[in-house]
C-alpha cells in the first residue's frame, strides 16, 4: 500500500470525571471536578492513541513524545 500524501494528526485531551478516590485523579479547576486528563490522537476518524494521564499536569504534557513515537512507526510503515 502506498503512503498517503499527507496525514493530519489531531491531538485532543478531555476530562474523564472520577467518582471516588482513584490514584492519579486530581481536582481540575477548569472542569470543576476530580478527573483524569487523557490524551487522544486521531487521524481522521481513526483513533491512534489513548493515553491516560493525571489531571494535575500541563495539557500538552507527553504530546511531543507521543508524536515522536507515531512518526517513527509511520515511517516504518511507509519508508
Residue 77 has phi, psi (to 5 degrees) of -70, -40
- Tell me, yes or no, whether 3 lies in a domain: no
DSSP of 20-31, one letter per residue? Answer: S--TT-EEETTT
pTM comes to 0.87
Greatest CA separation found in the chain?
48
- Tell me, yes or no, whether 2 lies in a domain: no
Residue ranges making up the domain that contains 66: 9-77
pLDDT digits (tens, 9 = 90+) for 14-52: 999 999 888 989 999 999 999 999 999 999 999 999 999
Instruction: Give the count of domains, the chain.
Output: 1
pLDDT-based confidence at 2, cuts 50/70/90? Answer: confident
- Tell me, yes or no, whether 47 lies in a domain: yes
Amino acid at each position: 500500500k502506498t503512503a498517503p500524501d499527507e496525514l493530519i494528526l489531531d491531538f485532543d485531551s478531555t476530562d474523564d470525571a472520577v467518582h471516588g478516590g482513584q490514584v492519579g485523579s486530581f481536582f481540575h479547576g477548569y472542569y470543576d471536578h476530580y478527573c483524569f486528563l487523557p490524551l487522544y490522537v486521531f487521524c481522521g476518524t481513526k483513533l491512534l492513541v489513548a493515553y491516560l494521564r493525571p489531571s494535575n499536569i500541563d495539557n500538552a504534557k507527553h504530546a511531543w513524545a507521543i508524536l515522536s513515537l507515531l512518526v517513527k512507526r509511520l515511517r516504518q510503515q511507509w519508508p
